[in-house]
């Protein structure tokens, strides 16, 4: 079963950065897979192609916004016209604009989070599942925030909870396919680029943030082993344990700790 992706074609969204970029490298280097990356930033995609060196032929990319259904219809037509056989779709693209209280996020911005993190997955699955190999599948990159919600992540948490529930349902509806849900914890990526952090904050945060390459390797291992549900990162494991055994007080503990930590990162997430 471990070799099911060798030489196959994998579509990865959000391949230009962070977890998606590392996964692209791993699938190409370890499985000799052909990866079709999807993101919007051409410069970053070109840089990744260069980094792949003599394996760069295994990587191609399409630039589009995953939150728009029309783009997925166009992509499906492209796949069909070129007669490309997809074995795996990894829905990884996502955004976390900041840790902000609900009333300070406009409805429009909130919808953008839902569109990017949740509806993109609905569109890609709807249009690509019919053309994915019989024994292939779909993996959705969720978040530990779908287990316990952290203050200031209102829409993000809702979008990831929707991803978790949606994936669970698909898993039971399409027994023959591999449908996976991966829940990483805090990972050191560009997802926090728009969030201002002091040096002191960064130091505090580093204590519970996992390096991106470590998390990507764990996700890679889970996917090649066809794991249907995988929590990755030690903070995510704490979230998982608390959500299972003390769902209400567990969330109180996590949020209490974050409030007391007085980290600038969460300064707009709690009442003063």
Site residues (CB under 6 A) for ligand NAP? 13-14, 16-20, 39-41, 44, 65-67, 92-96, 116, 141, 143, 184, 186-187, 189-191
Q: Is 130 exposed, middle or buried (0-12, 13-18, 19+ CB in 10 A)?
A: exposed
Q: Note whether 91 and 140 are within 8 A (CB).
A: yes
CB of 230 to ligand NAP, least distance (A): 12
C-alpha angle 61-17-164 in degrees, rounded to nearest 5: 95
CB of 117 to ligand NAP, least distance (A): 6
CB of 272 to ligand NAP, least distance (A): 26
C-alpha angle 79-161-268 in degrees, rounded to nearest 5: 115
CB of 45 to ligand NAP, least distance (A): 7
62 versus 168: smaller Cβ distance to ligand NAP: 62
CB of 31 to ligand NAP, least distance (A): 20
94 versus 250: smaller Cβ distance to ligand NAP: 94
Residues contacting residue 246 through CB under 8 Å, at least 6 positions apart:
253
Q: Is 106 exposed, middle or buried (0-12, 13-18, 19+ CB in 10 A)?
A: exposed
Cβ atoms within 10 A of the Cβ of 95, count?
16
44 versus 259: smaller Cβ distance to ligand NAP: 44
7 versus 211: smaller Cβ distance to ligand NAP: 211
170 versus 219: smaller Cβ distance to ligand NAP: 219
Strands of the chain, DSSP E = 9-13, 34-39, 59-63, 86-91, 132-141, 178-184, 187-188, 210-211, 229-232
Residues contacting residue 73 through CB under 8 Å, at least 6 positions apart:
127
CB of 182 to ligand NAP, least distance (A): 8
18 versus 137: smaller Cβ distance to ligand NAP: 18
């Amino acid at each position: 079963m471990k070799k099911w992706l060798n030489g196959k074609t994998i579509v990865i969204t959000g391949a230009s950065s962070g977890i998606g970029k590392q996964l692209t490298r791993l699938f190409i280097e370890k499985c000799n897979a052909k990866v079709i990356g999807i993101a919007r930033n051409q410069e970053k995609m070109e840089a990744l192609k260069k980094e792949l060196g003599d394996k760069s032929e295994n990587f191609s990319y399409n630039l589009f916004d995953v939150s728009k259904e029309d783009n997925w219809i166009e992509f499906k037509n492209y796949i069909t016209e070129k007669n490309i056989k997809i074995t795996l779709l990894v829905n990884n693209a996502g955004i976390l604009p900041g840790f902000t209280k609900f009333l300070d996020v406009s409805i429009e911005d909130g919808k953008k989070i839902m569109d990017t993190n949740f509806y993109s997955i609905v569109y890609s699955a709807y249009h690509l599942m019919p053309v994915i190999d019989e024994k292939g599948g779909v993996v959705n990159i969720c978040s530990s925030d779908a287990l316990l919600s952290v203050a200031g992540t209102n829409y993000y948490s809702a979008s990831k909870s929707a991803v978790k529930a949606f994936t669970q349902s698909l898993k039971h509806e399409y027994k023959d396919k591999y449908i996976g849900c991966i829940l990483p914890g805090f990972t050191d990526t560009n997802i926090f680029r728009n969030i201002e952090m002091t040096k002191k904050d960064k130091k505090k945060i580093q204590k519970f943030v996992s390096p991106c390459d470590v998390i990507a390797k764990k996700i890679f291992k889970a996917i090649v082993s066809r794991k249907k549900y995988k929590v990755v990162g030690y903070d995510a494991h704490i979230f998982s344990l608390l959500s299972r055994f003390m769902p209400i007080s567990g969330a109180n503990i996590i949020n209490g700790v974050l409030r007391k930590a007085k980290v600038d990162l969460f300064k707009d997430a709690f009442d003063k």
